[in-house]
Amino acid sequence: MCSQNFPLGLSYLLVKPSLLALEIDWPSKMSKRAGENKLESWMLIWKEKTSGGSRSSKTFKPKKNIPEGSHQYELLKHAEATLGSGNLRMAVMLPEGEDLNEWVAVNTVDFFNQINMLYGTITDFCTEESCPVMSAGPKYEYHWADGTNIKKPIKCSAPKYIDYLMTWVQDQLDDETLFPSKIGVPFPKNFMSVAKTILKRLFRVYAHIYHQHFDPVIQLQEEAHLNTSFKHFIFFVQEFNLIDRRELAPLQELIEKLTSKDR
């Protein structure tokens, strides 16, 4: 289990309704930034609310861009516009007439970028010394294997695990045979299986941040950004049944509290 850097933690979040209620103020803010990338809009909003602007601009891995002018780019813009309503349940729904694979692909890229930036803000706190094991609380420990370079699961530190994970995800997203960006190129038959694995693994980064680094998140005043991003992620995977409930167990209580008012 990773050692904690501050005396507070996820348990503190669960008993503090004021922290759980902190989310990005969508309607008034997003309307001013129509047409901008959603993640960049979030960070602009966030810099207005915090004094840690320079830290918030960090990313862990290079951002994955969807080619402008492509149909997937138009889908991303649709998602941004829908998010502007403030209704996350509605925002994750498949747009009428659109292909499910393409919708999942666009959102998977978006979640990679969100988590990439979120983790980038707390890398100073997630070190070999503070987090010698990749975990999500005392009951859940993750070992890394990608089936290609590392076939047998290995125990490693959280920063090493997340580096492996984000590099692997980046490789999948860059593979045109898995995530085609050109119009008319079909998705492979195993696309949904790959997407589910990506999202399952990205969830583990959220789980690690909430369990082991929520204290520095509070210190950096980034809890609204984290809560909104995670809530969006959970609504999306729930909508299309993309992550097995057992995999969500490390944050199940938090998920229930964050989503209960939107049922």
Binding positions for Zn(2+) are 126, 131, 208, 213
| Start-to-end CA span in the chain (Å) | 34
And the tokens for 140? 């859940």
And the tokens for 78? 């649709």
Alpha carbon dihedral 59, 141, 248, 237, in 10-degree steps, equals 40
Backbone phi and psi for residue 45, each to the nearest 5 degrees, phi listed first = -60, -45
Helices (H), 95-220: 100-120, 158-174, 191-219
Residue 40 neighbours by CB under 8 Å, 6+ apart: none
Measured CA distances, 113 to 58, 147, 202 (Å): 11, 24, 11
Q: Which three-class secondary structure state does DSSP give residue 71?
A: helix
- Cβ burial of 207 (10 Å; 0-12, 13-18, 19+) is buried
Reference 215, options 2, 12, 42; nearest CA is 12
